[in-house]
Amino acid sequence: MSNHDPQRVSDLRALIADFLKARLDDKLDKIKDTDEKAVAAREKEFDRFDQKTWLENATKRIKGIQLVTHVLKATHPSPKIYEATSLYVSPEGLFAHDVVGSHVLGVDYFDDVTGDAAALDVYKFLKLAHKDHSLLALVLARDIDLAAALSNDPLQAEAWMSAFAGITAPRGRVASHALAKQLYWLTGDNPDPHDDTSFHLLAPLYASSLAHRVYLMIQDDRFSEEAKAARQAKKESAFSERPVREYSQLAIQNLGGTKPQNISQLNSERRGDNFLLASLPPVWRSVDLKPLLGTDSMFYSYGRRPEVKEIVKVLLAFFKSNPTGNRETRDRRKEWVNALNDEFLQFTAELRSLPPGWSQTPECHLGSAEKHWLDPEGVEDACAQSGLPLPTDTDERVSALFANWLNAQLRDPLPMGDPEFLEWRTQLHEQIKAEEREGRHDD
């Protein structure tokens, strides 16, 4: 009979205790009053998070969730997990098709969980890691030290381990659902479309683990510091070990609306966002760079850039979702505005590559700040010839114009005012100054 490792058992018990204490503290922090009702509520929470009580309750609630890689609720949120089948399939065990699929994930993939959102804390418990092994992995391996950490009663520990291991099993019989997507697929050596027996009824499931990997890769390619540095290197015709990846006509499908957790845990982590790649061949378009003539604002042209329209659309949808006003929300908003700033500086660099002087023609109706910003050499030459002073506040004025433009894009139907104006203006102005410092350093 195998012997327990006392230190390992102790470490696992501490891990479990810390998890329960953190959740208890979170509940207690929300009880602010000191009257009898509040005291009773606090005592109730202490009872709930007693280890034996919580574990016993968790083994019951876990029946309401299922560990999956392919989830049905993404096609329709209504079916319960015991009414329709979602699957947990290890990607390395799938057939290696030539086309991209979940099999390409190999052993490095994200588990997902679907079902009762109120039971997701049980999944978080099972994801606790001890020396690179999750409690779930230890449960599935029937780890004797974890069993000892759960309970001193071997029979009780074994019952709980079995209950937790059941998270990977389908609930009920294998079945689709009337609200789920279903597809009649013609099959056989000599299929007859008039014969029902020539069809198989397929029930497509959403490849959640694959979708999450795609989401993380695209987010990294769009917003990571390394990706920004690679785009900057490309703009400056400099070398970068990291390639620049662009996703033309990228669409975002939101699953779950205001309650993405009702679809699955990974969907909740993505706030319901799921990327859809354009399934059409690219159309080659030669860019014929022309000066901005016959227009009184550079932002008409800037705002028509595909990347700009895409980012504004995402930012607008984000604001409309009424996100919680916390640090994570501010960071996401700042990332998207920085992406707009990057596009604006790229737009600027392109127009500055034109022969100087185009802004001084009668056909150019831009304001003085925009002329100096986009055609600095042309304006400097004109000022030198006329004896007029050269503008010294162009970057501040352009930053203000950008802030006004962005507020206008987001104002309908969202209230945008002076605080947002100041934030957008400051963010672009700081980025302009940072680029100027880098330019002086390179020189």
Residue 286: pLDDT over 60:
no
Q: Which of 303, 211, 322, 348 is nearest to 258 (CA)?
A: 322
The CB-side HSE value for 198 (13 A sphere, CA atoms) comes to 9
Specify burial of residue 31 (Cβ count, 10 A radius: 0-12, 13-18, 19+): middle
pLDDT band for position 1 (cuts 50, 70, 90): very low
Segment 158-170, tens digit of pLDDT: 999 999 998 988 7
Segment 69-114, tens digit of pLDDT: 999 999 888 888 888 888 888 888 889 888 889 998 888 888 899 9
Task: Tell me the domain boundaries of the chain.
Answer: 6-168, 285-443
Q: Which of 261, 207, 240 is nearest to 88 (CA)?
A: 207
Cβ(105)–Cβ(213) below 8 Å: yes
Q: How far apart are CA 109 and CA 331, in angstroms?
A: 26
The string over 70-81, giving b where at least 16 C-beta atoms fall within 10 Å of a residue's C-beta and e elsewhere, is bbbbbbebebeb
Segment 105-138, tens digit of pLDDT: 888 888 899 988 888 899 999 999 998 889 998 9
Cβ(72)–Cβ(85) below 8 Å: yes
Residue with tokens 């290197």, as numbered in its chain: 233
Predicted confidence at residue 258, as pLDDT, reads: 87
Segment 330-368, tens digit of pLDDT: 888 889 999 999 999 999 999 999 999 999 999 999 999
- Average pLDDT (39-53) is 91
Predicted confidence at residue 283, as pLDDT, reads: 64
Which token pair is 243? 């390639």
Q: How far apart are CA 237 and CA 366, in angstroms?
A: 29
The CB-side HSE value for 221 (13 A sphere, CA atoms) comes to 13
- Does the pTM surpass 0.85? The reply is no
Which token pair is 194? 């008039």
Which letter does DSSP use for residue 202 in this model? Answer: E
Determine the residue type at 417: G
**Mean pLDDT computed over every residue of the chain:** 89
pLDDT band for position 287 (cuts 50, 70, 90): low
